[in-house]
């Protein structure tokens, strides 16, 4: 049985965003390419489990996310400090991760725990709702919100863009908000 | 007196709403994160600094710029070929 061309086109239409997700998640273009190919292999060989009319991007993202996480767990067993090593790898091969201007951001993103990283990307870049992101990650909506908040706070720390000096014009607003909240 | 009290009340409510919103989110999430088994006790109880809107916007902007750079590359040929090949299979 050949694949319905409409379904095939839905898959193809998701590929650009799926690649962006894979690269942001893994921080490595080669690994991301493997992840995308493996995802498509699995998806198209199990296309019967996709219900036409439901969310194709969410379905493909779920497969890729689970592949990435099982790979990550495997690596974690092999390497003691998986996060640290991962960030180091990224630092020494910036050419693998795309344009230099995003290097600082990518390095910071790589330092986040994977659950926070995936939540932030899904909601902040892929444009999924909190509900869809929760479905993709297999957790509660509140957990996704919490992870996104933590990811933002940590990134602001890492990128040092939380200092008041970075946002001079906003200083009075911040002062008012801080005063109003405390009183 | 009554009028004035009312308008002060309105003003405070607006300020508090804006200031408190992220705080509420964090409190709720801390509880969830604790059930999640992901955070240590120290992480759960430590207060987080409040993030300004501008900081959040800047992070969102950089994240999307990085992401969209890849999205705009479209579908690489080898991936398009793979999908075509797989969809022709029995």
Write out residues 98-127 of A within 8 Å (CB-CB) of B: 98-99, 102, 105-106, 109, 113, 115, 120-121, 124-126
Distance CA A68, CA A105 (A): 21
Cβ-based contacts of B18 with chain A (< 8 Å): 177, 180
Query: Do B73 and B45 share a structural domain?
Result: no
- B75 contacts in A (CB within 8 Å)? 12, 15-16
What's the predicted TM-score (pTM) here? Answer: 0.69
DSSP label of A98: S
Residues B59, B23 share a domain: no
pLDDT in tens, B66-85: 999 999 999 999 999 999 99
The answer to whether residues B22 and B57 belong to one domain is no
Closest chain B CA to residue A163: B55
B2 and B45 inside one domain: yes
- Number of domains, chain B: 2
Global ipTM: 0.77
All domains of chain A, ordered by start, with CATH?
A: 5-163 (1.20.140.160)
**A-B Cβ pairs (cutoff 8 Å, strict):** 159
pLDDT tens profile A68-119: 999 877 776 665 455 555 555 555 454 444 555 678 899 999 999 999 999 9
What average pLDDT does this structure show over B23-42? 40
Which residue, A125, A178, A181, is CA-closest to A152? A125
Domain that holds residue B37: 1-50
Once rounded to an integer, what is the mean pLDDT over residues B18-38? Answer: 39
From the list B26, B5, B49, B45, the residue with the least C-alpha distance to A178 is B49
Q: Do B43 and B82 sit in the same domain of this protein?
A: no
Q: Are residues B44 and B58 in the same domain?
A: no
Residue B82: closest CA among A38, A149, A159, A164: A38
Would you state the pLDDT for residue A120?
98
Q: Do residue B17 and residue B35 come from a single domain?
A: yes
Query: DSSP secondary-structure letter at B72?
Result: T
pLDDT at B60 over 50: yes
pLDDT at B67: 96
Rounded alpha-carbon distances, angstroms, from residue B7 to A112, A183, B16, B18: 44, 17, 14, 17
For residue A122, pLDDT over 50 is answered with yes
Q: A98 with B69: CB under 8 angstroms?
A: yes
Contacts of B32 in chain A (CB under 8 A): 140, 142-143, 146
Structural contact between residues A33 and A20, judged by C-beta atoms closer than 8 angstroms? no
| pLDDT single digits (tens) A46-66 | 999 998 889 999 999 999 999
What residues 50-79 of chain B have any CB closer than 8 A to a CB of chain A?
A: 50-52, 54-56, 58-60, 62-76, 79
- Residues A143-173 have pLDDT tens digits of 999 999 999 999 998 988 644 444 444 455 5
If one compares A182 and A68, the residue with the highest pLDDT of the two is A68
Can you give the pLDDT at residue B8? 46
Q: Is A10 on the interface with B (CB under 8 A)?
A: no
Give yes or no: residues B30 and B67 share one domain.
no
A15-53 residues labelled b (16+ CB within 10 A) or e (exposed): bbbbbbbbbbbbbbbebbbebbebbbeebbeebeebeee
| Contact (CB<8Å) B58/A161 | yes
Tell me, yes or no, whether B16 and B35 share the same domain: yes
For a pLDDT cut of 70, what percent of chain A falls above it?
A: 73
pLDDT value of residue A73: 75
On chain A, the residues whose CB falls within 8 A of the CB of B70 are 16, 19-20, 23-24, 98
| N-to-C CA span, chain A | 68
Looking at the predicted structure, is the pLDDT value of residue B18 above 70? no
Residue B59 and residue B18 share a domain: no
Mean pLDDT of A114-131: 97
Question: How buried is residue A72: exposed, middle or buried, by Cβ count under 10 Å (0-12/13-18/19+)?
Answer: middle
Sole residue written with tokens 């919100």: A145
């Amino acid at each position: 049985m050949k694949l319905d061309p409409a379904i095939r086109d839905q898959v193809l239409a998701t590929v650009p965003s799926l690649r962006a997700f894979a690269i942001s998640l893994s921080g490595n273009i080669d690994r991301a390419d493997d992840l995308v190919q493996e995802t498509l292999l699995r998806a198209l060989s199990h296309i019967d489990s996709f219900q036409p009319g439901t969310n194709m991007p969410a379905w493909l993202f779920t497969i890729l996310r689970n592949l990435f996480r099982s790979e990550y767990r495997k690596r974690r067993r092999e390497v003691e400090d998986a996060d640290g090593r991962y960030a180091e790898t990224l630092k020494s091969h910036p050419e693998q991760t795309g344009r230099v201007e995003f290097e600082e951001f990518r390095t910071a993103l790589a330092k986040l725990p994977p659950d926070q990283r995936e939540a932030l990307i899904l909601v902040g870049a892929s444009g999924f709702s909190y509900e869809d992101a929760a479905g993709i990650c297999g957790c509660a909506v509140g957990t996704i919100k919490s992870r996104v908040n933590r990811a933002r706070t940590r990134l602001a720390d890492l990128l040092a863009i939380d200092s008041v000096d970075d946002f001079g014009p906003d200083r009075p607003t911040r002062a008012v908000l801080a005063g109003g909240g405390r009183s | 007196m009554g009028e004035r009290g009312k308008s002060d009340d309105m003003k405070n409510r607006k300020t508090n709403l804006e200031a408190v919103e992220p705080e509420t989110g964090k409190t709720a999430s801390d509880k969830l994160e604790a059930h999640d088994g992901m955070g240590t006790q120290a992480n759960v109880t430590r207060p987080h600094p409040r993030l300004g809107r501008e900081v959040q916007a800047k992070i969102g902007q950089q994240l999307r710029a990085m992401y969209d750079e890849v999205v705009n590359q479209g579908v690489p040929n080898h991936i398009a070929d793979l999908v075509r090949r797989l969809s022709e299979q029995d």
